[in-house]
Structure 1
Amino acid sequence: MAEDLEHMYWYNLRTGEVEHGFESPSADRVGPFETRAEAEKALEILRANSAKWAEEDAAED
């Protein structure tokens, strides 16, 4: 992942738009993503990660 977070892509949860750099308040955005295409799939990625983490937590119990 690139070190320069200001020039990466973010997904704005409030508007549903992809942003390049720090366009909106941090509370409204998730990321960073290296490409616009990756940021466009942010919700899919978040759901997949959440499911994976839930499975890992269940396996630990």
Structure 2
Amino acid sequence: MVFWYNIESGEVEADEVKSKGENLMGPYDTEAEARDALATAAEKTEKWDEEDKAWEEKGWGSAADDGSC
């Protein structure tokens, strides 16, 4: 069974009864993982922001900076 986190309602939903639409995060293997979806996303975003900052501090910039996109 898989689970989804509904960002609009703040509820965890099982796959069989999940809402339709863009307000779902997942799928997650466990109900606990789905319940922690926002915290997990925040942690990943913080990590990626730190990696981006380190990348830019090394002078490598982003692909968008060099006009290649």
Question: What's the counterpart of residue 14 of structure 1?
Answer: 8
Cα deviation per residue 1:21-59 (whole Å; 9 max; x = unaligned)?
161124110011110011111111011011011011111
Select the structure of larger CA radius of gyration.
2
Moved over 6 A (4+): none
TM-score, normalised with respect to structure 2: 0.72
> Separation in 2 of the partners of 1:43 and 1:15?
13
Please list every run of 5 or more consecutive structure 1 residues that lacks an aligned counterpart in the other structure.
Answer: 1-6
Identity %: 40
TM-score, normalised with respect to structure 1: 0.81
Please list every run of 5 or more consecutive structure 2 residues that lacks an aligned counterpart in the other structure.
Answer: 57-69
SS in 2 for 1:59: helix
> Separation in 1 of the partners of 2:34 and 2:9?
13
- RMSD, aligned α-carbons: 1.3
State how 1:1-61 maps to structure 2 within 5 Å. Answer: 7-21=1-15, 23-61=18-56
AA aligned opposite 1:50: T
